[in-house]
Amino acid sequence: MDFTIKACNWSKGKANGFLTGKSDAIVLGIFEAQTLTSTARDMDTATKGLISRIVKAGDMSGRAGTTLLIPEVKGIGASRILLVGLGKQDAFNQKAYGEAVRTAWRVILSSKIGQVTFTFAQLPIVERNGDWAVRAAILALRELTYKFTQMKSKPDNGARSLKKIVFSIDSADDKAARVAVKQGVAIANGMDLTRDLGNLPPNICTPTYLGQTAKKLGRDFKLKIEVLGQKQIEALNMGSFLSVAKGSVQPPQFIVMHYNGAGESTKGKNAPIVLVGKGITFDSGGISIKPGESMDEMKYDMCGAGSVFGTLRAVAEMGLKLNVIGVIPTCENMPAGNAVKPGDIITAMNGTTIEVLNTDAEGRLILCDALTYAERFKPAAVVDIATLTGACIIALGHHNTGLFSKDDALASELLDASREAVDPAWRLPLDDEYQDQLKSNFADLANIGGRPAGSVTAACFLSRFSTAYPWAHLDIAGTAWKSGAAKGATGRPVPMLSQFLIDRAGA
Ligand code: BES
Ligand code: MN
Ligand code: ZN
């Protein structure tokens, strides 16, 4: 699908460009109980009053969710008009916009329309402007058209009619809208990669496969890639990470990906942002084995890693002027005769001894060594992303990612980014009072903190290993995946992370 911008001279009162361009359909929004927008009025004039007659006859009320496809239109470049109800104008916020956009795309995708002109970017959206609207429309369309067919023997990829999307925007927004197209496509491509990796079965998407994926990404986008194997991980003394990998026949991998968009980082200048992603390609629970129900879904326990791949892909495609490093510890968590057991005490890379009280709390055990490793980059900030706790799903459901940080500035930066990207996150506490739950009678630290505030104590565990730099933790257990009929990976939180990095790069 090809996205282009067509600027019209709205501000100078010459808004006709969008009316003459040839297309199979033009999408027009109608507010409820409201006079027509200026865009609609222009179209009304060009079609000799067609729009106002339809509204007057009650065939388009403007109610949210309603549509009317008008065929065989004369007087404008498009042969059809798709009217879309937008609801009340004063309530037209980013959520209402998103719903209207998805409604429009659904109608268009179920038709034979090949080229469409989209006028929504001119609508008055509460607190949002035209370039935001363009990007959100692209992301919504790409979300609706994503399909995972790699594992079907006869993939049904039914040819799609929609090929070309033209956004008509005010020429004053021209430059910003072109950037928005680039960002929208890059973020959508990143999300597709994240979703593909999450959806792949765990017998294919192994740690070795993720290592190969990193190398491919490196070739395609000129990233420097390091993939460390068992021996090299041992040499780094990552005893905590290795304890999780032990019970599996799949060798662990430690992946480091460097995107260098700002030049050499020296003396605190151009310090990188480090993204650390949990890459458990299958979480059986290990010796503390999980119940059988939905265990298949534990293939998505590498979605933190997946989102690091997706975000780096997006950042590289956008060509952001900053340095980003992706760090991924990846292995399986399996039961076996030589697997780590409850009661075992292991030594992390930084020398901390950890009593493993539950082998199913493995995410923190692989992340803690990656967080120690990240110190060597003298990072400006580190954000880890992990499907870390079932408790986070209990606390926040599937809408908000859990955000933890002791750094208020970093936390609000991430929350702002999540709002802008419509990829919601909610901050949860990380007070020192919770640290007591991680006390061990035998080692420095226990790997579980009991049932109360399970997501907080998991974050507390990680906080012990991330004191050398500003740090935030994202628990995506509830947001990286959808269960039920639409089972599959969501690509979150790639939009939020990409926005965070766009903002950091000042792009
Ligand atoms: N990967 C799971 C967390 C998870 C659960 C993600 C459900 C997505 C859906 C994690 O490794 C885990 O098993 N956590 C345990 C921690 C507990 C043993 C303290 C949990 O949440 O039950
Ligand atoms: Mn687990
Ligand atoms: Zn896990």
Residues annotated as catalytic are 290, 364
Report the nearest atom of ligand 1 relative to the CA of 391. Answer: 21
* Per-residue pLDDT at 11: 64
Which tokens hold the place of 62?
């403007």
Per-chain residues with Cβ under 5 A from ion ligand 2? 283, 360, 362
Considering every ligand atom shown, identify the ligand nearest to the alpha carbon of residue 279 and give its number: 3
Strand duo 279-283 + 323-333: pairing: parallel
**Pick from 285, 261, 286, 288: nearest CA to 272:** 261
38-85 pLDDT, tens digit each: 999 999 999 999 999 999 999 999 999 999 999 999 999 999 999 999
How many Å lie between the centroid of ligand 2 and the Cα of residue 281? 11
Q: For ligand 1, atom 13, which residue shows the shortest CA distance?
A: 360
Per-residue pLDDT of the chain (507 residues; tens, 9 = 90+): 999 999 887 766 666 778 888 999 999 999 998 889 999 999 999 999 999 999 999 999 999 999 999 999 999 999 999 999 999 999 999 999 999 999 999 999 999 999 999 999 889 999 999 999 999 999 999 999 999 999 999 988 778 899 999 999 988 889 999 999 999 999 999 999 999 999 999 999 999 999 999 999 999 999 999 999 999 999 999 999 999 999 999 999 999 999 999 988 887 789 999 999 999 999 999 999 999 999 999 999 999 999 999 999 999 999 999 999 999 999 999 999 999 999 999 999 999 999 999 999 999 999 999 999 999 999 999 999 999 999 999 999 999 999 999 999 999 999 999 999 999 999 999 999 999 999 999 999 999 999 999 999 999 999 999 999 999 999 999 999 998 899 999 999 999 999 999 999 997
Side chain identity, residue 135: R
DSSP string, 66-115: -EEEEPS--SSSBS-EEEEE---GGG--HHHHHHHHHHHHHHHHTS---E
- Say how many Å lie between the first and final Cα of the chain, rounded: 25
Residues lining ligand 1, Cβ inside 6 A: 283, 301, 358, 360-363, 387-391, 448, 454, 477
* Cβ within 8 Å of residue 120, ≥6 positions away: 27, 29, 97, 100, 101, 104, 133, 137
- Which ligand sits nearest to residue 295's alpha carbon? 1
d(Cα 498, Cα 267) in Å, to the nearest integer? Answer: 26
Amino acid making up residue 384 = D
Q: Other C-beta atoms within 10 Å of 308: how many? A: 31
d(CA 100, CA 447): 46
Query: Which residue type sits at 226?
Result: E
CA-based nearest residue to 141, from 94, 192, 91: 192
Query: 84: part of which helix (H) or strand (E)?
Result: strand 81-85
Ligand 2: centre distance to CA 361 (Å): 5
Choose which residue among 296, 360, 394 to substitute to test ligand 1 binding: the one with the highest number of ligand atoms within 8 A of its C-beta: 360
- Here the tokens at position 323 are 């340095």
- Residue 36 CA to residue 17 CA, distance in Å, equals 19
> What pLDDT is stored for residue 419 in this prediction?
97
Nearest atom, ligand 1, residue 301 CA: 1
Q: How far is the CA of 387 from the centre of ligand 3 (A)?
A: 6
State the Cα–Cα distance between residues 430 and 333, nearest whole angstrom. 27
Residues paired with residue 81 on neighbouring β-strands, in sequence order: 26, 70
Mutational pocket test of ligand 1: of 303, 334, 389, 457, the residue with most ligand atoms within 8 Å of the beta carbon? 389
- pTM (2 decimals)? 0.97
* DSSP assignments along 176-204, one per residue: HHHHHHHHHHHHHHHHHHHHHHHHS-TTT
User: What pLDDT is recorded for position 265?
Assistant: 80
